[in-house]
Amino acid sequence: MKTMHPELTYATIHELSGRIRSREISPVELAEQAVARIEQVNPSLNAFVTVTAELAMEQAKQAEQELMKGNYKGPLHGIPIVHKDLYYTKGIRTTASSKILKDFVPDYDSTAVAKLAEAGTVLLGKVQTHEFASGTTTNSVHFGPCRNPWNLERVPGGSSGGTGAAVASGIAYMGTGSDTGGSIRIPAACCGVVGMKPTYGRVSRYGIVPMGWSLDHAGPLTRSVLDASLSLDAMSGFDPKDESTVNLPAPGLKMEYAESLKGVRIGIPTRYYYDNVEADVLTAVQAAIAKFKELGAEVVEVELSKIGYARSAASAILMGELVAYHEPWLESRPEDYGADVRMMLESGRNLPASTYLQAQRARHLVVQDFLDALSGVDVLLTPATPLTAPTAEDFSRTLRLAEFTMPTNLTGLPSLSMPCGFSPEGMPVNLQLIGRPFDEATVLGIGYGYECNTEWHLRHPEL
């Protein structure tokens, strides 16, 4: 084992990429360090379902050889990452943290996995999700609970909790997530990292175990907004295997906002998003709003008159689509589901078709409502979650984690979850920026401008 470099544990992709390209740092050294970090902290976190240490070392050696030949693939070349265990990985089991798929080994990669491999990433392994992505705790009955690196008694959020824990704890520099009701942005908030849910259609969902076809989004979790942009660029693009994808160039990021947010208009919804927010979260988000004003942004109130329909409509659509996917297993293997997921599926079976259709009609009203609100501003700013990470046993609070994220699964709008403070107990707080369709560059750029002038993303858990 080569010499470890502790200062690299919490480095960002942007910081590492130049040093890798100049050969100051070897991808092999970075992979060795990441594997050692898994051995050091994963016994406490239980983030991994499958560790692919040998594959990681092979890929790191290949990346090093490519770099020595001058074949630099871009900023993700040689970067150790993880994939949520919903993403199909050829020859590596994809369990969805379930008993039903515990031995399932795909014979192809999902499109997002293939794109990230083409970018030169190094795969450390597959990480936990709430069973079939159907919850906010990642408290797996089949593989054991995944824990929050800031407090092992708290949940890491869900359903991409394994990714959030792995990125926040200094194991992986980036990880994939999927987001149907907030499953990228909630773990980002609970673990104090950055999570980007792109516009519906920006990233292919082909080869990802679905939860709700019309609500599912794929995207990255990272340690910085700039890293989220680099990762999203690699994941984005038209895919003929996913008819929802669009043929647009990678979004990038508006770098000019790092200098000033003057001229930026930020909308603060007057309804829903600031109701029933716990004090620790509200204090941090209000301080962030004040910081945006200090940086030159104009903050205005906006009206979302139809927001009251959003969560019930999204829930009805989700239940109908979720049950449609699981119906064969519900018939043949109901006992193999965890109790919480089985209860959800059984209740979804009783959903009338008329309710699903009415929810789809309400969806159009909510979409237009958001577009109207965004017509006079660049982004909307809200808390990412109404509370900090709870314990798994605090059921009433875990149920609330998706309140502020689910509306933009319904609308498909790009939404960024990023650090903006901590509670007195030392738990992370994230804000959420919501933008216009396919305007990730503005959402990420404004987030980057805030990040460049604050230090919340530089704080890391002491494991």
Q: What is the largest CA-CA distance in the chain?
A: 63
For tokens 């994809």, what's the residue? 94
Q: Yes or no: say if 116 and 76 are a contact pair by the CB < 8 Å rule.
A: yes
Q: Yes or no: say if 136 and 402 are a contact pair by the CB < 8 Å rule.
A: yes
Gap between the Cα atoms of 85 and 94, Å rounded: 5
Residue 159 is among the residues annotated as catalytic for this protein: yes
| Tokens, residue 181 | 């009701």
Sequence-distant (≥ 6) Cβ neighbours of residue 173 within 8 angstroms: 11, 12, 13, 16, 34, 79, 80, 81, 167, 222, 223, 227
Gap between the Cα atoms of 284 and 433, Å rounded: 15
| Tokens, residue 117 | 């491999």
Question: Could you write out the DSSP letters of every residue in 224-293?
Answer: SHHHHHHHHHHHBS--TT-TT----------GGGGT--TT-EEEEESSSTTSS--HHHHHHHHHHHHHHH
| Tokens, residue 43 | 């016994």
Element (H, E) at 379: strand 379-383
Task: Point out which residues pair with 175 in neighbouring strands.
Answer: 82, 221
Q: What is the sign of the dihedral through the CA atoms of 442, 443, 446 and 448?
A: negative
Residue 26 is among the residues annotated as catalytic for this protein: no
User: Of the candidates 150, 47, 100, 139, which has an alpha carbon nearest to the alpha carbon of residue 332?
Assistant: 100
Sequence-distant (≥ 6) Cβ neighbours of residue 32 within 8 angstroms: 1, 2, 4, 57, 60
- Number of neighbours of residue 275 by Cβ within 10 angstroms: 10
Distance of CA 285 to the CA centre of its chain: 20
Catalytic one among 98, 140, 169, 183? Answer: 183
Catalytic one among 98, 159, 214, 315? Answer: 159
Task: Point out which residues pair with 434 in neighbouring strands.
Answer: 380, 415
User: Of the candidates 230, 314, 246, which has an alpha carbon nearest to the alpha carbon of residue 13?
Assistant: 230
Name the pairing type of β-strands 80-84 and 122-127.
Answer: parallel
For tokens 């593989």, what's the residue? 143
User: Of the candidates 385, 327, 391, 405, which has an alpha carbon nearest to the alpha carbon of residue 152?
Assistant: 391
Q: Write out the catalytic residue numbers.
A: 84, 159, 183
